[in-house]
Structure 1
Amino acid sequence: MSENRTDSERETGVVLGFLEEAEPWQLASAQFPSKVGGRPAWLSQLNLPSAAELECEKCQHPTVFLLQVYAPIAGQERSFHRTLYVFCCKTPACYTANDNRCFKVFRSQLPRKNDFYPYDPPPDEEPAAGADDERVLGSGVKLCRLCGCAGHKACSRCHKVTYCCKEHQAIDWKQQHKRECSSETSSASGAVNLLLFPEWELVTEPEELPVNDDMPPDSNSLAQVNIASSDLEESELESMALHESKDSEAFQKFKERIAAEPHQVLRYCREGSQLWVSSEHVPNKEDIPKCSCGTNRIFEFQIMPQLLNHLKVDSPDASIDWGTLAIYTCAASCDQGKNYSAEFIWKQDFSKDQAV
């Protein structure tokens, strides 16, 4: 896309993510995909996050795979292959304002020469039929038939399928496994899986803006603040007006920035700046915990609210929701071997009366 850039456009250093349909083989681990929904395409095939590590901290139910971003670091051999994974709870009641406890983030990275993948890039063609089994990784690690995470609990009757927890085993029993348990064969992926989010490929292109986007927003385009209350002192009115003006400005900036590419679902810019939807609940440096190695974490990418339109999560009552999700990762991308390293997510919701 950058090759077609005109003199009236500039690249911002931000890479935008968009959703496209793809063939299942294109989203397999061997293709090093960036993707949304379905089952995770694990990079390291050992030491997957445990069921306990994937639990929602609010309801203690297992979280479900939301998306992954393939993000190698140029010049860093230990991060030649590098993928970031985001999981979220599917219980709407867990989504309270600015509360990140229903999300989990993990990082996996491998050098170019590793135990799981060829040294050379994968061919851009469909592999031979029957090459993969969704129930087990090439390393021999068994996967949950329902969600695709590490599955250590086998069906006690047929021993053909495994699950990450009793909850997922019970769901799959009702959806399909009850009908097939005593049969000679068992489907690898099962029937229509209502637990998982719809699956998409996450494709990227650089953000390009008109050169005059460096100009500050026209103050006349910002929402005007109207506060009237005889019960408030003048100083309180001034404080509230200033706060609402700043919040309106932040939201206006958000809307203007995404206007050129309204279908973006992700913004990637390692060590860059976040695009907040509100002036409220913006983290300070001390709000972002250090990595377990002791290194500071830095901003890497954010998930946009537009993604919610593709997840089929709307409901008449409460539903899964966010304004934006900012992911922070170890600045050194420290070497954890074949393990999955927990990273940090910051959830910011829209202020009252805001809408994209």
Structure 2
Amino acid sequence: MSDQLSNVVVELGFIEKAPAWKLRSKFFPAKVGGYPAWLALKDLPTNEELSCRRCSKALVFLCQLYAPFHDKENCFHRTVFVFVCRDPDCCQENDASNIRVFRSQLPRENEFYPPEPSKDVEPGSESPEAGDFNNLCRICGALGPKTCGGCKVARYCSKDHQALDWKAGHKEECKNPDTISKVSCKGNAKFLFPEFEIELEPEELDTAKEKTEGEVMKEYEELLRSGRVTHQNDDDSDTENDLIDMATKETDKQFQKFRMRLKDYPDQVVRYDRGREPLWVSSSNKPVDVPPCPSCGQPRQFEFQVMPQLLVHLKVDNSGKSIDWGTVLIYSCKESCQSNRNYIEEVAYKQDYSPISQVMKNHPYGAS
């Protein structure tokens, strides 16, 4: 990806497989799943900050974007981290209580990394890392203040993660403290999301093919008349059809615009468009009165959004309720201010598709 995400062209993020060593802190990755590749290696978010506001359980790392502001000296390195609760019961419609976001930034001259980029090689890729300065939970990679009472080596953020690790195999390895590693391969596999790199590239719109507002509206009205969402008889990809399947009971004019915009890049998992409008999935439930930055009092602005296609890669589907979203919108301090903390909490909003019943109720065709 480029040194700095563009504020002129929308940057689209796509899932790519990469060896785990390339996704460590010293290479400043944009990534999904696995452990967070912490930017500032000290003063990490507290366990309370990394807990769900609904159930109070530890959140799982979802994704991070490396997004420096090269016009600001203290933002030479800058990463935004997104965490989510794994419990599907905490995933409520148009409610981001189960999602938390943190921003970290560093000047070029800092205590953790050299001013010049590290060579892209595996030897020595482990350091520097947050584990050099902190005790980290073997399950999730957050701060691990709790110690196993048996081996006195394994560290955890919570009793829940200690119990998960115990059942996943620590019960046996606990007998041999000298062989215990900082990472629980079996335990974290049950908790963490699959790990991928996010590759970013500019969105290139084919204006000749882009539909006009009138064309989108006409298609929307035809959908309302039919009373259902249907696949289009054109060259839609299987991935786009998957997206429509997510909304088979839901649609509105805004969703039609959303679908058309994604048509050429249906695999995108992230859209970075700092300071401008998100790509809404619904005409309803748009954020209003976004709170200003508590550190400096300046407004927060839209920075990027997580797209529904990412859910395909997280393997969270089950026969019952699952983690879900139409899109997750990230708002951050417009000035990307510095504070006395290495990690500043920002704001996430979750926007889901509008139920077709509500759309029909509010539209003249609903009465016919």
Q: Where on the TM-score scale, by shorter chain, does this alignment land: which range?
A: 0.7 to 0.9
- TM-score (normalizing by structure 1): 0.86
Deviates more, 1:249-258 or 1:175-184: 175-184
Q: Are 1:118 and 2:111 counterparts?
A: no
List alignment gaps of at least 5 residues for structure 2.
Answer: 228-250, 358-368
Q: Are 1:176 and 2:172 counterparts?
A: no
Query: What is the aligned counterpart of 2:311 among 301, 308, 311?
Result: 308
3-state SS in 2 of match to 1:254:
helix
Aligned to 2:179: 185
Contact 2:26–2:128 at 8 Å: present in 1 too?
Answer: no
Q: Which amino acid aligns with 2:170?
A: H
Deviation at 1:216, TM superposition (A): 2.5
Distance 1:194 1:217 in 2: 48
Aligned to 1:57: 53
Q: Are 1:270 and 2:274 counterparts?
A: yes
Distance 2:73 2:275 in 1: 19
Aligned to 1:164: 157
- Which aligned pairs between 1:1-356 and structure 2 lie closer than 5 A? 13-128=9-124, 131-132=126-127, 137-138=131-132, 140-183=133-176, 184-192=178-186, 193-212=189-208, 213=210, 215-218=212-215, 219-224=217-222, 225-226=224-225, 248-284=252-288, 286=289, 288-292=290-294, 293-353=296-356
3-state SS in 2 of match to 1:40:
coil
Deviation at 1:353, TM superposition (A): 4.6
Q: Which amino acid aligns with 1:312?
A: K
- TM-score (normalizing by structure 2): 0.83
Q: Which amino acid aligns with 1:106?
A: F
Distance 1:155 1:316 in 2: 35
The share of aligned pairs that are identical, in percent, is 47
* Deviant stretches of 4+, over 6 Å: none
Deviates more, 1:163-172 or 1:301-310: 163-172
Contact 1:217–1:253 at 8 Å: present in 2 too?
Answer: no
Deviation at 1:248, TM superposition (A): 2.1
Q: Which amino acid aligns with 1:64?
A: V
Distance 1:146 1:190 in 2: 6
Q: Which amino acid aligns with 2:271?
A: R
Q: Which amino acid aligns with 1:220?
A: K
Q: Which amino acid aligns with 1:105?
A: V
Aligned CA distance change for structure 1 residues 227 and 306 (closer, same or farther; 3 Å): closer
Distance 2:139 2:128 in 1: 14
Contact 2:13–2:198 at 8 Å: present in 1 too?
Answer: yes
